[in-house]
């Protein structure tokens, strides 16, 4: 194990070697100053770097940032306790710290612990490379890939207690898509979550975080930390749901429903509750009198609270699952469109309000071997999240049958 001590003070060099005891015969300790450090770290790649604080603490923080791009294990050596300085160093990735006046046993124990951690990190990195090779982990970001998320999260839910947990899905909003970087967002998330929280890709620039404990308040706190880490680089929205099921697919739908509400309502985040679903499906009674304005107002509310969120959620859910297919959806005061376009097939679902107590759903498939076109008359009081989702998902299933 090669250990490099970086310091500008000769007295530290003269005394530190005597304090660092209990090292193995194969372990080596070398020294350099701040000016030499970047080149030596880059060329020699020591296993552990111990950085003695500089009179200008910002130089120490900047050097830690650089070293962490080259190696994993860093220990901070301080002259005097400074809470903010130490916290800043931890934010940049140090493993531990000790004082120059600490007892030799403490210095050695902390260094030996870091050596053990370094060996463990190497083993973990080896396993991570295997997981990336078999596409269980995403190669760019190092978190669980979309294709493996359901299986691994279902297993996580079955093995561990998540009764006080929450699922949060994060996605860039329309403005955030312009500057979106998966690596940048994942880096901010990793700095904000706990070790026990599980991060997975969700496709279409969505990241899921399964939070082990603390439920909704913990999720909100983590979201605030992520936004602080991003510092305005990417604007994001979030959907949060409590963990009330051991099936990830159920939780995924609930979180995506909340994300849709967040996007459509231009809120930082939205929280899914069972009551909100019941309200979506039963809050509006059909007007008793035959009055076009009343029916029009009733339809507009259904459009805002039910149809538009379902269309948006299903677009986000399917746009990366359908190979070589463009998924579009559009809603205005007269009609709602959901279109799927593939070189082999174009299919359109259109909801039109002709007046009074019903809407018409037109389903049109173009291309060879297309399913039968359909026309569905749907009473206004039957427009619900569940019913619209069922119709659109059946439409998507028919479309898939023509391109697979």
Q: Is residue 379 part of a domain?
A: yes
Q: Rounded distance, CA 68 to CA 48, Å?
A: 11
> What total number of domains does the chain contain?
3
Q: Can you give the pLDDT at residue 32? A: 95
pLDDT in tens, the chain (404 residues): 788 999 999 999 888 877 776 556 677 889 999 999 999 999 999 988 999 999 999 999 999 999 999 988 899 999 999 999 999 999 899 999 999 888 888 888 888 888 888 778 788 788 878 777 878 888 878 888 888 888 999 999 999 889 889 999 999 988 888 888 888 999 999 999 988 899 999 877 899 999 988 888 899 999 999 999 999 899 999 999 999 988 998 999 889 888 888 887 778 888 886 654 444 444 445 555 566 677 777 787 788 778 888 888 888 778 878 888 999 988 877 789 999 999 888 999 999 988 777 889 999 998 767 788 999 998 888 888 889 999 999 999 999 988 87
Q: Is the dihedral of CA 304, 310, 311, 316 positive or negative?
A: positive
Structural domain containing residue 325: 282-403
User: Looking at the domain assignment, is residue 215 inside a domain?
Assistant: yes
**Are 295 and 256 members of one domain?**
no
Closest to 299 (Cα-Cα) out of 337, 330, 333: 333
| 57 alpha carbon, distance to own chain's centre | 33
> pLDDT value at position 284?
46
| 123 and 25 in a common domain | yes
Tokens 């490099």 found at: 4
**CA-based nearest residue to 222, from 235, 209, 205:** 209
Same domain, 186 and 258: yes
Taking the C-alpha atoms of residue 190 and residue 230, their distance in angstroms, rounded to an integer, is 12
**CATH at 96:** 3.40.50.2300
Structure confidence at residue 368 (pLDDT): 67
- Distance of alpha carbon 45 from alpha carbon 246, whole angstroms: 45
CB of 142 within 8 A of CB of 237? no
Separation between Cα atoms, residue 385 and residue 257, nearest integer Å: 10
Q: Are 289 and 250 contained in the same domain? A: no
Domain presence at residue 170: yes
Residue 270 sits at φ, ψ, to 5 deg, of -135, 150
The predicted structure's pLDDT at residue 78:
94
């Amino acid at each position: 194990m090669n250990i490099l001590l970086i310091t500008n003070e000769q007295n530290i060099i003269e005394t530190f070697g005597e304090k660092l005891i209990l090292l193995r015969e194969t372990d080596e300790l070398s020294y350099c100053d701040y000016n030499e450090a970047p080149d030596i770290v880059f060329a020699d790649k020591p296993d552990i770097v111990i950085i003695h604080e500089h009179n200008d603490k910002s130089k120490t923080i900047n050097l830690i940032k650089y070293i962490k791009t080259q190696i994993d294990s860093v220990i901070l050596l301080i002259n005097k306790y400074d809470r903010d300085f130490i916290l800043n160093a931890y934010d940049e990735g140090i493993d531990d710290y000790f004082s120059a006046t600490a007892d030799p046993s403490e210095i050695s124990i902390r260094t030996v612990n870091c050596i053990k951690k370094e060996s463990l990190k190497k083993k973990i990195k080896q396993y991570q490379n295997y997981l990336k090779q078999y596409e269980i982990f995403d190669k760019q970001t190092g978190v669980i890939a979309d294709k493996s998320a359901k299986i691994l999260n279902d297993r996580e839910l079955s093995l561990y207690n998540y009764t006080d947990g929450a699922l949060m899905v994060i996605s860039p909003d329309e403005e955030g898509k312009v500057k979106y970087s998966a690596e940048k967002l994942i880096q901010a998330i990793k700095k904000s979550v706990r070790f026990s929280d599980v991060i997975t890709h969700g496709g279409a620039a969505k990241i899921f975080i399964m939070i082990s404990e603390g439920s909704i308040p913990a999720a909100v706190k983590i979201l605030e930390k992520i936004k602080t880490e991003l510092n305005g680089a990417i604007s994001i929205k979030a959907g949060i749901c409590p963990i009330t099921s051991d099936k990830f697919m159920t939780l995924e739908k609930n979180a995506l429903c909340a994300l849709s509400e967040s996007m459509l309502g231009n809120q930082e985040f939205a929280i899914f509750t069972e009551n909100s679903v019941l309200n979506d499906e039963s809050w509006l009674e059909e007007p008793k009198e035959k009055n076009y304005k009343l029916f029009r107002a009733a339809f507009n509310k259904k459009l805002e609270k039910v149809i538009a969120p379902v269309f948006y959620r299903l677009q986000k859910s399917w746009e990366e699952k359908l190979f070589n297919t463009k998924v579009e959806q559009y809603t205005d005061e007269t009609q709602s469109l959901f279109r799927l376009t593939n070189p082999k097939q174009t299919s359109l679902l259109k909801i039109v309000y002709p007046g009074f107590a019903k809407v018409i759903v037109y389903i049109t498939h173009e291309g060879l071997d297309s399913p039968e076109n359909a026309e569905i008359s749907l009473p206004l009081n039957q427009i619900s999240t569940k019913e619209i989702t069922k119709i659109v998902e059946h439409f998507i299933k028919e479309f898939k049958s023509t391109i697979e």
